[in-house]
Amino acid sequence: MHHMDTLHRVKANTKVLAFDIFGTVVDWHGSIVREVQALYPHVDANAFALAWRAGYQPAMARVRSGELGWTRIDELHRLVLEGLLPQFGLTHLNETERVHLNRVWHRLDAWPDSVAGLTRLKQRFTICSLSNGNLGLLTNMAKRAGLPWDCVLSAEVFRAYKPDPATYLGVAQVFDLEPHQVMLCAAHHDDLDAARACGLHTAYIERPMEFGASQIKDVSPQAGNDLHARDLMALADLLGC
């Protein structure tokens, strides 16, 4: 499905692969469902995970609009969590338990192909995260899951949240590259659209189970992306790694 010219152009130009994390490299939904089921069996873990994630974009929007000053995702996750506890019957959790639960975002499991795929891609490219997650979260996650980043990059470095152009262009600037020498790899078309508008190459990664089995995601290709890959092993295949 990829035109040979596109593949050739991408392979010849790209130096850095920047990866979205939540949903693209790690399975936030499945990981949260598993932890919540184990800790709080009476809670509807699927609904809880979906509700927590649904609060994420509105919370970031409050930072982007200036209503909140710079606030890390750890703190935004906690804000959203506090709002959810009543509706899920969890208001009895003490501070230690709330802190532990909030840190589940540091303990997300990688999709089964992620570590092997990244390890192959790292042979030929510089691989980094480009996530709205904070540096500590991304580092703890990578250490636990074995994600072999060359560099952990985050919105925290650029003090701007995706889709702010400062994040995509920031990756190119960190490595003294032109935007087209960086490729964003993500499971979300809006993220890829914003990166493309900044001149980056883009690779869509299918993650049909991102929201769990109750809500299968449409992973149809969109024309604007340079590459479309089922998972990170397929991306490594495409890029000849």
Binding residues (CB under 8 A) for a second copy: these are: 74, 126, 128, 134-136, 138-140, 142-143, 150-153, 156-157, 174-176
Contact 180, 190 (CB under 8 A): no
Least distance (Å) from a second copy to the CB of residue 138?
Answer: 8
Least distance (Å) from a second copy to the CB of residue 51?
Answer: 25
Least distance (Å) from a second copy to the CB of residue 177?
Answer: 9
Least distance (Å) from a second copy to the CB of residue 224?
Answer: 28
Least distance (Å) from a second copy to the CB of residue 98?
Answer: 14
Least distance (Å) from a second copy to the CB of residue 103?
Answer: 9
Q: Which is nearer to a second copy, 33 or 200 (CB)?
A: 200
Contact 214, 181 (CB under 8 A): no
Q: Which is nearer to a second copy, 13 or 140 (CB)?
A: 140
Instruction: List the Cα angle 17/124/198 in 5-degree steps.
Output: 25
Q: List CB contacts of 171: < 8 A, sequence separation 6 or more.
A: 16, 18, 128, 130, 153, 182, 200
Q: Which is nearer to a second copy, 137 or 186 (CB)?
A: 137
Cβ burial of 161 (10 Å; 0-12, 13-18, 19+) is buried
Q: Which is nearer to a second copy, 8 or 144 (CB)?
A: 144
Helices 135-145 and 73-84 cross at an angle (nearest 10°) of: 90
Q: Which is nearer to a second copy, 45 or 153 (CB)?
A: 153
Q: List CB contacts of 215: < 8 A, sequence separation 6 or more.
A: 50
Q: Which is nearer to a second copy, 174 or 219 (CB)?
A: 174
Q: How far is CA 218 from the centre of its chain?
A: 18
Q: Which is nearer to a second copy, 37 or 181 (CB)?
A: 181
Least distance (Å) from a second copy to the CB of residue 122?
Answer: 8
User: Can you tell me the distance from the alpha carbon of 214 to that of 196, in angstroms, rounded to the nearest whole number?
Assistant: 31
CB contact burial 28-50 (16+ within 10 A = b; e otherwise)? bbbbbbbbbeeebeebebbebbb
User: Can you tell me the distance from the alpha carbon of 36 to that of 52, in angstroms, rounded to the nearest whole number?
Assistant: 12
